[in-house]
Chains A and B, each alone.
Chain A
Amino acid sequence: MSLLAALSADADLYVAQNVFFAVIAAAMVFSAVRVVTTGNVVHAALWLVVVLAGVAAQFILLGSDFVAVTQVLVYIGAVVVLFLFGVMLTRASLGDDESVGDEKRVMAAVVGVLLFAVMATGLIHTYEDGRLVIENPQSVNVVSDAIFSQYIVAFEAVSVLLLAALIGAIVVARKD
C-alpha cells in the first residue's frame, strides 16, 4: 500500500489507483461471469480464485490490507481448497456440466438484471458525489482493538458459530 500511496503524489487524482481499479474490476467481472457459466466445475473453482484475488486487491486499494491478507488466506487458501475437495468427493462430472435449460438461464438472467438495475439506480442516485480519500491504511492494531473491545460480543458469537458449524458439519457429513 505504501507503494501505491507513493505512486499517487497527487492525493486528489489517484490516477494510478483508478487505473488499477479498472483493470482489476474488468478481470473480476469477466472471471465472475466465467464462474457462473463455465461447464467445468474445476475451472469454475479456478475462476473463482481470480475473483477472490481481485477482491483482495480492491481491499488494498481501499486501504484495508489486513482484510485483504485475511481474504487471501481464508478464501484462496482454505475455501477454494474446500471446494475442490467437495468436487472430488462428490465425483461431480469434471467435464462439462449437464446442459442447463435455456428457460432457467433466462429466468436467472432476468432476475439478475432486474436486481442490478434497481441497485445501480439507487447507488448512483444516492452516492453521486461520494469520494474516497485514502490517506493511509488502517493499521492492524486499530482493527484488533476494535474487535476485542467494541465488538467483543460479536466476536464471541462468531467463534461460537464456528464451533457450531464445525460440529454440525461433522454430524451432517459422517457416515453412520
Chain B
Amino acid sequence: MSFLFGFAEPSSVPTSSTVAHSANWFLEYAWLVPLLPALSFVGILFFGKRMRYRGAELGIAAVSLSFLLAVCAGFAWIQHRDNFVLPDAASGAPATPGESYVAVQNSTQWLQSGGVEFGAGVLVDGLSVMMLLVVTIVSLLVHVYSTDYVGDDKRYTHFFAFLSLFTAAMLFFVLSDNILQMIVGWELVGVCSFVLIGHWWEEKPNSDAALKAFLTNRVGDVGLIIGTITLFFAAGGGHTFDTIKINEAIVQGEVGHTALVVASLCLMAAVMSKSGQFILHTWLPDAMAGPTPVSALIHAATMVVAGVFMIARLYPVFFEGMQIGGSSINLMATIGAVTLVFGGLLAFVQDDIKKVLAYSTVSQLGYMVMALGVGAWTAAVFHLFTHAFFKANLFLGSGSVAHAVHSFDMKKDMGGMRKFMPKTYITFIIGSLALAGLFPLAGFWSKDEILVGTGGWGLFGGTGGNGAYTFHLLMGVFGAALTAAYMTRCVYLTFHGEFRGGHAHGGHAHGGHAHGGHEHGGHAHGGHAHGDPHESGPRILVPLYILSGLAVVAGFANLPAGFQLVGDSWTERFGHYVEPYKSSYFPAIDHATPSWSLAVVASVVALAGAGAAIYYYFVKVDRLADQTQQSLTELPDGLSKSNALAGAGHRVLVNKYYLDHLYEGVIVAFTKGPLARAAYWVNQKVIDRTVDKAGETAVLVGRHVYDVVDQSVIDGFVDGSGRVSDATGEELRQINSGKVQNYAAILFAMAAVLAGTFLIIFAL
C-alpha cells in the first residue's frame, strides 16, 4: 500500500501557505468520487430499463466504488495530515510534519469573462473527506435498502437514477473549492430532493410537499446568491470565488466588517432554509411525503446537512460576521438553540413516525447550528458525522416497520411491533439510544462536546471556549431531555403495547394515509392477507445492522481530551484530522476543555427526560392497557380517573395517583401537553399561516385601496368634478382601461417627455 499512500513529488509552488496542489493520488483525484454516481445517473437514465435489475445494479456499483475511493481518501488524508510538509518551508510554514494543516486543492479554469476567472476544482481537506465518507456510506446503504423497499414501484429505475444524482450532487457540493461551484451543487441537491420528494407525484399532497420544499429553499437561495456576490466583491481586494482565498482574506482581517455582516446574514438565510432552521423549517416535515429511503438520505447525509457544511466551510465569514468569539449571544447560536428546543417539542405531538424523526432532525440540526454559533466547530461537524448514522438508522428502521404495516401512523397502525420484527426493534432501540445521547453511544459524545463548547458551564472551573453562552447551554441540556423523552414515546408507540393495526382496523388503515397507502401500491392490500406483519428481508436488515453498529462506535472517533480510559493518542482524533486548526483559512477559535461534571449532569437530565417518558408510557399506559384489555397510546384523563375510582379499595394506589398526577402535571403533561401543543400550534397556525396571511393582507390592503382610494376618492373625485369637466373624468377612467396598448402609449409618451426634459436641462 505504500505506493498508494506515498506522496507524489511536489511539482508546483503553492500560492498559499496552507494549500498544497499535489498530494497523494486519492486526494488529487477525489473528483472521481462524485463523478462515478453522476455517470451512473446518466447510465441508469438511458439504459436502466434494459438492465437485469432495472438500473439498481449500476447505481449500487457506482456508489460502492465511490465509497471505496472515499475510504482510501480517508486513509490518504490521515497520512497526509500527519506527514505532509510544505515544500517552501522558508516562507514561514512550520517545518514539523503534521504541524500545519495543509489542504489539497486542484482547480482548473472553467471560463473567463471580463477579467473574472471562474474556476472549477476540488478542495480536499479533513472536512470534505469526512463528508465524502458519510455521504457515500449512507447513500450506499440507502441504495441497497431501496432495492427491497421500492421494489414494486413503477418508477423504480427513475428512482435509482435520481438517488445516484442526489449522491453525486452532494459529493460535488462538499468538494467544491469555490463558492460558485457550491451554489451549483447546492441547487442540484435542491432539484434532486424536489424530484425525489415528489416521487409519487400522482397524489396531490406529495407534489405539494415537493413544491413546498423547493420553494422554501428558493427563499434561502436568494440569500445565498446575495451573500456570494458580497463575498466576491469584498474578499481580499475582491473578485475571487475561491473559498480558501476568501477565508484567508477574512482571517487576515482584510475584509470590512459591514460586508461580513451582510454576507453572513444572507448566507444564514440560505442555511435556515436548507438546514431546516426555525421559521424556514416547515418544508422538512412535509418532505416526509417522499419514499422513506429518500427521507433517510435527505435527513442524514445529503440535503439538510448542506447548510451546516456551508457554515463549516466558510466559517471565517460567520465567525467574524456574527462576532462569535468572546460573546455570550449571537444570531446564529440563538437560531440554533430555538430550533433545537422547538423541534424537540414538536416531535412530541406527532403521530406519524416519520414526522417524529423529521422534527427530531430539525432539533438535531439546531444543535449543529448552535454549536457552530458558539464557536464549537469540531463539535458541530462531529455531531453531523454521528447524527448521519443514527438518523439514517432510525429512518430506515421506521421504513422497515412501515413496510410491514403499510402505514406510518404510530397510533392507529403500530404498537407491539417488537414481537413481529425483533431485529428491526433492536436496531431501532440502538439508534434511539444513540440519538438520546446515552453513554457510550455516538450521540453522547457529540452532544456532550456541543454542550461543553458553549462555554456556559461555570461549575468546577468552567470549560472555556469562545464565550459564555449560558443560555444556549441551558437550551441544549433541555433539548437533550426532550430528545430522550420523545424517542421513548416513539419507541413505545411503535414497538410496545398491543398491535393496533391490521385486522383491528380493517381497510381503514389505508384510506386515510396518503403516502402510507401509496407506498406499496402493488401489494398493499394483499399485505393483510397473510396475517400479522413480519420481519423485513435481508436487504433492509443488513443496512440497519451496519448503521446501528456505526451508531454505537462512531462516537469513539472523537473521545474528549483527558479521557483517562484510553491513551492520549486515541483522543480527539476526529478534531485533529478534520478541523483546519492552525491553517491559514480558519479563524483562531478557542477550544473548550471537556468537563466531567457537565457530561454527568447532561446525562442525568437526559435520563430524567427518558425516565419521565418511560414511566408515563411503559408503566402507566401499559398497566392501564392491561386492565382495560385494549391497546392504548396515551393516558386518557377520564379513563385513568374512573379506573382509579374503580380501584377505590386500594388506598395506596389512589395516593400514588395523586403523586402521579402531580408528576404528570408538572413534567410530562407540561412538555407533552400545553407547551408542545403551543409549539405545534405556533408552527401550524402562525408560521404556515404567515405566508398565507401576507398574501391575504396584500389582498386586503389592495381591496381597501380599491374601495376607499380608488372607488371613493378617485371615483368620487371624478364624479364630483364630472359636472365641471366631464371629459377630464372620462380621460382619467380611460387610463385604467386595462388595455395594454394604452399603458404602452403612456409609457412611451412619458419616456419621451422625461428624455426631452433631460435634454433641455442638460444639453441644449
Measured CB to CB, the residues of A under 8 A from B are: 104, 107-108, 110-111, 114-115, 117-119, 121-122, 125-126, 149-153
Contacts and interface: CB of A to CB of B under 8 A. Distances in A.
Interface string B741-764: 100010011011101100100011
A111 B748 contact: yes
Contacts of B751: 115
Given A150-B113, A152-B113, A125 B764 contact: yes
B90 interface: no
A114 B745 contact: no
Given A107-B745, A108-B745, A114-B749, A122 B755 contact: yes
A150 B745 contact: no
Contacts of B764: 121, 125
Overall SS of chain B's interface: helix
Overall SS of chain A's interface: helix
B25 to A, nearest CB: 33
Contacts of A104: 741
B111 interface: yes
15 contacts: A108-B745, A111-B748, A114-B749, A114-B752, A115-B748, A115-B751, A117-B752, A117-B756, A118-B755, A121-B759, A122-B763, A125-B759, A150-B114, A152-B111, A153-B113
A111 B745 contact: yes
B712 to A, nearest CB: 30
A121 B753 CA distance: 13
B30 to A, nearest CB: 27
A125 B112 CA distance: 39
Contacts of B763: 122, 125-126
Interface of B: 111-114, 741, 745, 748-749, 751-753, 755-756, 759, 763-764
Nearest to B763: A125
A118 B114 contact: no
Contacts of A111: 745, 748-749, 752
Nearest to A107: B745
A122 B752 contact: no
Contact of A122 (B112, B741, B749, B759): B759
B26 to A, nearest CB: 33
Contacts of B745: 107-108, 111
B735 to A, nearest CB: 12
B131 to A, nearest CB: 30
B279 to A, nearest CB: 32
B759 A118 contact: yes
B739 to A, nearest CB: 10
Contacts of B741: 104
Given A119-B755, A150-B114, 10 more contacts: A104-B741, A110-B749, A114-B752, A117-B752, A118-B755, A118-B759, A121-B764, A125-B763, A151-B113, A152-B112
A115 B114 CA distance: 35
B113 A118 contact: no
Contacts of A118: 752, 755-756, 759
A147 to B, nearest CB: 11
Nearest to A116: B752
A115 B741 CA distance: 16
A150 B751 CA distance: 33
B753 to A, nearest CB: 8
Nearest to B755: A118
A42 B700 CA distance: 48
B754 to A, nearest CB: 9
A104 B755 CA distance: 23
Given A121-B759, A122-B759, A115 B752 contact: yes
Contacts of A152: 111-113
Contacts of B749: 110-111, 114-115
For the complex of A and B, 5 pairs with smallest distance between CB atoms: A153-B113, A118-B756, A115-B752, A114-B752, A111-B749
Contacts of B114: 150, 153
A153 B112 CA distance: 8
Nearest to A114: B752
Nearest to A154: B113
Contacts of A126: 763
A139 to B, nearest CB: 22
Contacts of A121: 756, 759, 764
A121 B759 CA distance: 8
B53 to A, nearest CB: 33
B265 to A, nearest CB: 28
A114 to B, nearest CB: 5
Of residues A104, A111, A119, A125, which shows the largest number of chain B Cβ atoms within 10 Å of its Cβ?
A111
B305 to A, nearest CB: 30
A69 to B, nearest CB: 26
